[in-house]
Chains A and B, each alone.
Chain A
Amino acid sequence: MTRGAPTVGVVKFASCDGCQLSLLDLEDHLLEITGTFDIVEFAEATSRRSPGPYDVLLVEGSVSTEEQAAEILELRAQARTLVTIGACATAGGIQALRNWADHDEYRRAVYAHPEYVASLATSTPVSSHVRVDAELHGCPIDRGELLELLSALAVGRRPQIREDAVCLACKRRGVVCVTVARGIPCLGPVTNAGCGAICPAMDRGCYGCFGPRPEANMPSLTGSFLASGGTRADVARLFEGFTAYAEPFRTTVSDLRGRGPEEDADAQQ
């Protein structure tokens, strides 16, 4: 690291650590990155700690406890640029499925002493709590997009992240459409393309881990799933994945299930 290099912090909330691991998975570029940036906080990788301030703060994980809801406010105040990384941080993650369920029942079922478990009823994206400067989608994020983001931040330009759907990535990659060829339900038409169409290339349908496209035509897609014989619950389960709490998947799930999620009562910021 060089003196005066931009400082970077990596922190986590409720998550699996996979997105921050993507940083270490940049193997070939890792030592380059640590030469460009001064990584001052990254508990998984270094014993040095820093409470801030940070030029760049990468945030993994969803907000799911009261401590986390307070901590994200403090971290925001310490961060010049705050970037959320991954479906947990950008959409609430798989754990946001509890937003549709009875949280107390979850707690009782999993823990012998639910009173020790200080978790909130909801798991919410960081953007429900504080302003976010940039987001990387995916469960996990794509290493190429992470590298592009860091390279752009290093020189102060806008990161170039492709904005289209998995379907187009299939076309670019020459992958035969799994829905047309084999009738496999696929969320490719409504999902962000950052992954490069990994699932269709592996002969299976996309399950939406890079999150919904803002312009997604949900009625058309759910209509075609229902028309090909899925029950409403079957179709709901297709969207009840890692980004279910992101709109418009959230409304689709609620419509199909006939019940909505808990409101973001704890996310008042």
Chain B
Amino acid sequence: MHSSDEYAERDIDISMLTRVEGEGSLRLRMRDGVVESARLSIFEAPRYFEKLVEGRKPDEVIDIVARICGICPVAYQMSAVHAFEDCFGVEVEDGVRALRRLMYCGEWIESHALHVYLLHAPDFLGYASAVEMAEDHADIVGRGLQLKRLGNDILALLGGRAIHPVSVRVGGFSRVPRRGELDALRHMLDHAVEWSAETLDWVSTLDAPAFERDVELVSLVHPHEYPMNHGRIVSTRGIDVATGAWRDAFEESQVPDTNALHARTRSGTTYLVGPAARVTQCADRLHPRAGAALRQSGLGGAIAANPYWSIAARAVELLHASSEAVDILDAYTRPDVASVAWEPRAGVAAWSTEAPRGLLFHRYEVDASGFVRAAQIVPPTSQNQGRIEDDLVAFTPTMRDASDAELTHGLEQLVRSYDPCISCATHFLDVEIEEVP
């Protein structure tokens, strides 16, 4: 070891990232102000979901894959149910299609309110948690909790409970609500719209570090709708493939330094999925109220370029989801049947939907009796992981003169701005389990 290097070398080791879902760590190695490597590691214990669903029937798979993530179970249920229905040629009723969007609205509201208010905002305002933030900003935290609760209420109404709802079935739902059951919720949703608009106004006043980069953004894009369960997989740099054809454009490839697998485009580049990608690519398909609020905020460009401004993308989507939920409830007539009959077919069931954190791809090989023979699940955080690491490398030199403590804090904040869901990412191919110091 050369003594001159000893001073120039710098290792930042965050052994436990906080205010993220699941357990992960961050390790960064610098030499002479240049970052040699940044690695977001995941030390969540693997749970082997791809194996757990082998030998199971479609409706059982829907119940099982929900348990990959307690924050976005509906996303797992939606990708799975659409994959199976596509494979078996099942056409659901329009009313069922609308209710599934309503369910996703509920999950986006619950998940985005959780991230904006409880996990992310404390970074902007300098608190260790929302509880401490509430000591000075009780109204703001209270609004976030109420908004989150309304998201949960939508889920509980349609699915029996907010975490791991029970009603999603191939062909439709086990049960669909009667109109009258929706009245109380409908009344409250006017508040959700109002609070969401206030959320965007409020986050617009926050100070985000100036850090811009040029990234490939990937999301579903649909000709008429803001993307949730349907659309093509499209990127800002020319990718355009069918909803189930994720593997045509992306692959899980090996990264030399880590011996772990990350998702990359077929040309080997990193990319970003999630609210910033959706808002950027689909701004003209936002609910008119959300579209107008986005334009008025003037944050469209910042959302695309600066990861910290993802908080504004989530606020825009809160307004979209609560506004669309109102529209769906106002137009609701109970579907004639909760679920249509279906028969399994041998084939490949592959589909992507838009989880709160971005594109979620499922692929199941199914036999003629409907049993799953093999499964692949690619969650949003696995796809963003490479991009997060690239951004850490690009960001660190901007804090060259910072102390270790400041740099550590800056890096943690950057990671949190992606809302990484480590519980999701853990059970998949891009995991490296390390000794935790």
Interface of A toward B, CB cutoff 8 Å? 1, 12-22, 24-25, 27-28, 30-31, 34, 39, 42-49, 61, 64-65, 67-68, 93-95, 97-98, 101, 105-107, 109-113, 116-119, 123, 139-140, 195, 198-199, 201-204, 207, 209, 237, 241-242
| Chain B residues, CB < 8 A from A101 | 51
> Which chain B residues in 160-190 approach chain A with CB under 8 Å?
160-164, 166-167, 169, 174-175
Interface of B toward A, CB cutoff 8 Å? 16-23, 44-48, 50-52, 56-57, 60, 63-64, 67-71, 73, 114, 118-119, 122, 128-132, 134, 138, 141-142, 145-146, 148-149, 152, 159-164, 166-167, 169, 174-175, 254, 259-261, 338, 412, 423, 427-429, 431-434, 436
Known interface pairs A16-B67, A199-B160; A116-B433 also in contact (CB < 8 Å): yes
Of A67, A139, A198, the residue contacting B67 (CB under 8 A) is A139
| Chain A residues, CB < 8 A from B163 | 18, 21-22, 25, 140
The CA of A27 and the CA of B323, in the complex, are separated in Å by 22
Known interface pairs A65-B45, A110-B46; A198-B166 also in contact (CB < 8 Å): yes
Inter-chain contact B433/A118, CB cutoff 8 Å? yes
Of B48, B130, B436, the residue contacting A67 (CB under 8 A) is B436
| Chain B residues, CB < 8 A from A237 | 56-57, 60
Distance in Å: Cβ of B66 to nearest Cβ of chain A: 8
Inter-chain contact A47/B160, CB cutoff 8 Å? no
**Among all A-B residue pairs, the 3 with the closest Cβ atoms:** A18-B70, A46-B129, A14-B45
> A44 — nearest CB in chain B belongs to which residue?
B21
Of B51, B164, B174, the residue contacting A203 (CB under 8 A) is B174
28 A-B pairs whose Cβ atoms sit less than 8 Å apart in the complex: A14-B45, A15-B70, A15-B423, A16-B69, A17-B71, A18-B67, A18-B69, A18-B163, A20-B70, A24-B148, A42-B129, A44-B20, A44-B22, A46-B19, A47-B122, A48-B129, A68-B45, A93-B67, A94-B47, A94-B64, A105-B51, A107-B46, A110-B46, A140-B164, A199-B166, A202-B159, A203-B174, A204-B174
> A11 — nearest CB in chain B belongs to which residue?
B23
Of B19, B412, B433, the residue contacting A44 (CB under 8 A) is B19
Of B47, B114, B130, the residue contacting A14 (CB under 8 A) is B47
The CA of A42 and the CA of B174, in the complex, are separated in Å by 36
Inter-chain contact B52/A94, CB cutoff 8 Å? yes
Inter-chain contact A45/B175, CB cutoff 8 Å? no
> A13 — nearest CB in chain B belongs to which residue?
B45
What is the total of A-B residue contacts with beta carbons within 8 Å?
188
| Chain A residues, CB < 8 A from B118 | 24, 45
Distance in Å: Cβ of B392 to nearest Cβ of chain A: 18
Inter-chain contact A112/B52, CB cutoff 8 Å? no
Distance in Å: Cβ of A141 to nearest Cβ of chain B: 9
The CA of A74 and the CA of B431, in the complex, are separated in Å by 26
> A94 — nearest CB in chain B belongs to which residue?
B67
Inter-chain contact A24/B16, CB cutoff 8 Å? no
Distance in Å: Cβ of B57 to nearest Cβ of chain A: 8
| Chain B residues, CB < 8 A from A17 | 21-22, 69-71, 423
Distance in Å: Cβ of A37 to nearest Cβ of chain B: 10
Known interface pairs A30-B145, A118-B433, A202-B174; A113-B259 also in contact (CB < 8 Å): yes
Q: A31-B131, A98-B52, A198-B161 are in contact. List 15 more A-B contacts (CB 8 A).
A: A17-B22, A18-B67, A21-B114, A22-B163, A25-B163, A28-B145, A31-B142, A44-B22, A45-B130, A61-B45, A64-B47, A107-B46, A203-B338, A204-B166, A209-B164
| Chain B residues, CB < 8 A from A203 | 174-175, 338
Of B21, B174, B431, B434, the residue contacting A111 (CB under 8 A) is B431
| Chain A residues, CB < 8 A from B44 | 14
Inter-chain contact B18/A43, CB cutoff 8 Å? yes
The CA of A247 and the CA of B56, in the complex, are separated in Å by 22
The CA of A45 and the CA of B119, in the complex, are separated in Å by 7
Of B73, B429, B431, the residue contacting A18 (CB under 8 A) is B73
| Chain A residues, CB < 8 A from B134 | 31, 34
Inter-chain contact A207/B160, CB cutoff 8 Å? no
Inter-chain contact B19/A47, CB cutoff 8 Å? yes
Inter-chain contact B261/A112, CB cutoff 8 Å? yes
Inter-chain contact B48/A47, CB cutoff 8 Å? no
Most chain B Cβ neighbours within 10 Å, of A24, A42, A44: A44
Distance in Å: Cβ of B223 to nearest Cβ of chain A: 33
